[in-house]
């Protein structure tokens, strides 16, 4: 019995088989138990020796089962570990990273270079009061200059701001006559335009405003020259052309030498060697006075640029709608993290 049992136990390859063998040999109906029942037929002299032998056999089987159980457990653990092995040298999955929108890239570049010159950055509401968008910018109700900016009105007092000059007039009011003011104001603006390759009913501007004692047009020119160098490459030249805005006097339109041909004339600058980048001027005395400044004791300059326009020039983009349709193939081109 013992020999047969040990052989069977040795042959077990799973816990289930071992359990089965245990029941078979040591169970109530097993051969060991059966031998025990034979005891009652033996003489008293024979009993101890027989009993001892059966016990030895029983213990040997029990021990074999225990040993086998340990061996099976160890190998079960080993095969589990093998199955769950992780190769930590395998390269991981690369998470899909988003990219900054080209308008954000340009906007941040401009903000950064002005912050470097000590400007604050300020934003304002896109749903704006007529007061800040027009009145305080020296564009009173019924003035024909309002027609220059086709406006989305919400009601008699509110509108979607048509220019970041609305942030400028808020900043002037907020300063309560304190100088100097040096602020850069980026944001979305809205105009009732039919969308096409160069027009969009919503676009992005960045406005700069400086107010202090003795600020002149030369300061404006120096500042814009610095900006042109940084945005379009060193060695740019800029020129002022007379223009008209209600909130600046004098007003200028600012051109920079073409960054593609360096001023010789190409298709981007339509052969002129110059590209127009923004509008600017000296803050109109009325604008200063309405915000509580004494226009005899201070002066200031302001400029406003279209971010889309600058991005289109800089990157050679020919359709403004590319900025809004969110084609990832277009957006990926401006991956700053690469
Ligand atoms: N607000 C003007 C525009 O939207 C730009 C501008 C800003 C001009 C500041 C002069 C000074 O066209």
Atom number in ligand 1 closest to CA 305? 5
Between the CA of 28 and the centroid of ligand 1 the distance, in Å, is 101
At a CB cut-off of 8 Å and minimum separation 6, what does 279 contact?
A: 243, 245, 251, 252, 253, 254, 303, 304, 305
167, 207, 240, best to mutate for ligand 1 pocket (most atoms within 8 Å of CB): 207
Check if the beta carbon of residue 254 is closer than 8 Å to that of residue 239: yes
Check if the beta carbon of residue 129 is closer than 8 Å to that of residue 167: no
Which one of 44-48, 72-76, 207-211, 328-332 scores highest in mean pLDDT? Answer: 207-211
User: Which pLDDT value is given to residue 338?
Assistant: 43
Mean pLDDT check: name the lowest of 16-25, 79-88, 140-149, 249-258: 140-149
As beta bridge partners, residue 256 has: 238, 275
Between the CA of 115 and the centroid of ligand 1 the distance, in Å, is 20
Determine the average pLDDT of the residues in 22-30: 89
More confident residue, 97 or 235: 235
User: Which pLDDT value is given to residue 109?
Assistant: 92
Residue listed under structure tokens 């610095």: 226
Q: Is 190 in the pocket of ligand 1 (CB under 6 A)?
A: no
User: Which pLDDT value is given to residue 46?
Assistant: 86
On average, the pLDDT of the chain sits at: 92
- Indicate whether 36 pLDDT > 80: yes
Determine the average pLDDT of the residues in 73-90: 90
Model-level pTM greater than 0.80? no
Residue listed under structure tokens 């009061």: 129
- Indicate whether 336 pLDDT > 60: no
| Span 129-182, pLDDT tens digits | 999 999 999 999 988 878 777 899 999 999 999 999 999 999 999 999 999 999
Query: Please, what's the largest Cα pairwise distance for the chain?
Result: 136
Give just the sign of the alpha carbon dihedral 108, 110, 111, 116.
positive
Determine the average pLDDT of the residues in 184-203: 94
- The first and second tokens of residue 11, run together, are 């042959």
User: Which pLDDT value is given to residue 337?
Assistant: 52
Between the CA of 145 and the centroid of ligand 1 the distance, in Å, is 13
CA distance 139 to 129: 13
Q: Is 203 in the pocket of ligand 1 (CB under 6 A)?
A: no
| Span 263-320, pLDDT tens digits | 899 988 889 999 999 999 999 999 999 999 999 999 999 999 999 999 998 888 989 9
Q: Show binding-site residues for Mg(2+).
A: 249
Mean pLDDT check: name the lowest of 13-27, 186-200, 231-245, 324-338: 324-338
| Span 207-265, pLDDT tens digits | 999 999 999 999 999 999 999 999 988 989 999 999 999 999 999 999 999 988 888 99
User: Which pLDDT value is given to residue 23?
Assistant: 92
The helix-helix angle for 217-232 and 307-315 (nearest 10°) equals 40
Interface pTM, i.e. ipTM: 0.97
| Span 325-335, pLDDT tens digits | 989 889 888 76
Using CA atoms of 196, 198, 199, 202 in order, give the dihedral in degrees to the nearest 10: 110
At a CB cut-off of 8 Å and minimum separation 6, what does 319 contact?
A: 197
Which residue has the CA at smallest separation from atom 5 of ligand 1?
304
């Amino acid at each position: 019995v013992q020999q047969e049992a040990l052989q069977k136990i040795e042959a077990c390859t799973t816990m289930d088989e071992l359990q089965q063998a245990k029941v078979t040999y040591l169970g109530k109906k097993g051969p060991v138990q059966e031998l025990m029942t034979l005891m009652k037929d033996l003489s008293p002299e024979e009993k101890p020796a027989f009993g001892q032998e059966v016990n030895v056999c029983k213990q040997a089987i029990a021990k074999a089962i225990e040993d086998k159980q340990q061996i099976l457990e160890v190998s079960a653990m080993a095969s589990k570990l093998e199955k769950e092995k992780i190769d930590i040298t395998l390269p991981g999955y690369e998470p899909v990273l988003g990219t900054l929108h080209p308008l954000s890239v340009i906007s941040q570049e401009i903000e950064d270079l002005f912050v470097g010159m000590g400007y604050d950055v300020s934003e304002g509401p896109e749903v704006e009061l007529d007061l800040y968008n027009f009145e305080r910018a020296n564009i009173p109700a019924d003035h024909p200059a309002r027609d220059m900016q086709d406006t989305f009105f919400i009601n008699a007092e509110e509108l979607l701001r048509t220019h970041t000059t609305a942030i400028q007039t808020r900043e002037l009011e907020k300063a309560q006559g304190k100088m100097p003011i040096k602020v850069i104001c980026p944001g979305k603006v809205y105009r009732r335009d039919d969308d096409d390759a160069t027009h969009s009913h919503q676009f992005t501007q960045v406005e700069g405003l400086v107010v202090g004692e003795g600020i002149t047009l030369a300061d404006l020119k120096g500042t814009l020259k610095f900006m042109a160098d940084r945005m379009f490459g060193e060695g740019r030249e800029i020129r002022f052309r007379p223009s008209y805005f209600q909130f600046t006097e004098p007003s200028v339109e600012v051109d920079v030498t073409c960054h593609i041909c360096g001023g010789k004339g190409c298709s981007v600058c339509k052969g002129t060697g110059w590209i127009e980048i923004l509008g600017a001027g000296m803050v109109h005395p009325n604008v200063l006075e309405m915000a509580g400044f004494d226009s005899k004791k201070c002066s200031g300059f302001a400029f406003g640029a279209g971010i889309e326009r600058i991005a289109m020039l800089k990157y050679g983009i020919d359709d403004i709608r590319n900025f809004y349709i969110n084609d990832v193939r277009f957006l990926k081109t401006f991956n700053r993290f690469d």
